[in-house]
Structure 1
Amino acid sequence: MDFRCVEECSDCCVQREYYPTKQFGKIGVLILPNEKEKIEKFAKDNKIEIKILPRIGVSENPNQIPTKILAYQLMGIEENGNTCPFLDTESGKKSTHGGYPCKIYKSKPLACSAYPLIESNPITLDEKCKFCKECGTANQNLEFETESLLKIKEIMQTNANHIWRYATGIGEKEDKEIIKTGWILEEGI
């Protein structure tokens, strides 16, 4: 079955998840370093308030915070981290599948182009995707998504000794006590 967005769905642009655990807070959309400046410029030019945090960093020394950032994350606009700031929920316009349109669709991040494929071994479909829930699986029409995910993996490849994840400090009110903020060495996950 060919993958396609489910009619009137915008869930992937709204719902954010805790990853890899609640301690790290909710994650934002993965933004590569070469995408960050372009996204910031678009937001500034269009007077859209955004928040970009680090996501993955590397260092040669485990006692040193990251010396290089491999990826950033575009956080949602709601206090709990949900809803992409580029999702047009106010104009009344609709996307081709009837969901809310994306204000940066033509220059969206590679991570958005790769969805619903997720990085795992092996690469799988995101179980939270409405299409994947309703239709089971997609075995065709994922070439573009696969190419996008492979580009992300290639760009983020590193020989650094230590990988760090950034804890966003963002999540549901009831989880605030366990959510951390700042860099955490991945070896401790």
Structure 2
Amino acid sequence: MEFRCVDECSQCCIEREYYPSKKFGKIGVLILPDEKERIEKLAKENNLDIKILPRIGVSESRDSGPSKILAYQMMGVEKNGNTCPFLDTESGNKSPHNGFPCKIYKNRPLACKTYPLIESDPITLDEKCKFCKEHKTADENLNSETESLLKIKEQMNTELPFIWRFATEIGEEQDNNLFESGWILEE
């Protein structure tokens, strides 16, 4: 079955999730280091304030914190971390599937180009995607998404033994007491 966005859906650009657990806060859109400057420039061109935080770092020692950042994350504009800053929710314009349009669709981050694919072994579909929930499968026209995911995996490959995740302290207000902040070593 061919993947297509569900009519009037923009859910993947709005809802953010806690990952890998609530203590880390909500994650933002994955931004690779070589994309960061371009995304910041696009925000400036669109008169948008964006918040980009570290996401994943690596190091040779467990005592020092990360010596290299493998990925950043662009946080949502809402206080709880939701809604991509590039999602046009105000103009009244619509995307081809009648959802909210992306202001930078042709220049969107590689992570956005992979959706609805999720990096796992084997690669799978995001169960939160409305199309994927409804149809349970999509085995056609996901070639460019697969290619984008493989590019991300290639850039995330590292020889350094210690992996760090950045806790954002961003999420739902009722979860504030669970959040940690800063770099946390993966055990």
TM-score (norm 1): 0.98
Larger mean CA deviation between 130-139 and 164-173 belongs to 130-139
Report % sequence identity.
Answer: 71
Distance of 2:108 and 2:46 partners within structure 1 = 15
Matching of residue 26 in structure 1 with residue 31 in structure 2: no
Q: Which residue of 2 aligns with 1:64?
A: 64
- Over aligned residue pairs, what C-alpha RMSD do you find? 0.6
* Displaced runs of 4 or more, over 2 A: none
Q: Which residue of 1 aligns with 2:36?
A: 36
Shift of 1:10: 0.2
Shift of 1:63: 0.4
Q: Which residue of 1 aligns with 2:14?
A: 14
Q: Which residue of 1 aligns with 2:93?
A: 93
Q: Which residue of 1 aligns with 2:121?
A: 121
Shift of 1:136: 1.6
- Secondary structure of the 1:30 match is strand
Q: Gapped runs of 5+ residues in structure 2?
A: none
Q: Which residue of 2 aligns with 1:162?
A: 162
Matching of residue 79 in structure 1 with residue 116 in structure 2: no
- Secondary structure of the 1:94 match is coil
Q: Gapped runs of 5+ residues in structure 1?
A: none
One-letter code aligned to 1:93: N
- Secondary structure of the 1:8 match is coil
Distance of 1:103 and 1:46 partners within structure 2 = 8
Distance of 1:59 and 1:44 partners within structure 2 = 32
Distance of 2:12 and 2:169 partners within structure 1 = 21
Q: Which residue of 2 aligns with 1:105?
A: 105
Q: Which residue of 2 aligns with 1:150?
A: 150
Shift of 1:170: 0.3
Distance of 1:61 and 1:154 partners within structure 2 = 23
Shift of 1:45: 2.2
Q: How does 1:44-59 map to 2 (within 5 A)?
A: 44-59=44-59
Shift of 1:134: 1.2
- Secondary structure of the 1:177 match is helix
One-letter code aligned to 1:84: C
Shift of 1:161: 1.1
One-letter code aligned to 1:97: H
Distance of 2:56 and 2:146 partners within structure 1 = 21
Deviations 1:74-130 (A, max 9, x none): 000000000000000000000011100001101100100000001112110000001
Distance of 2:86 and 2:29 partners within structure 1 = 11
Q: Which residue of 1 aligns with 2:171?
A: 171
One-letter code aligned to 2:117: L
Shift of 1:155: 0.9
TM-score (norm 2): 0.99
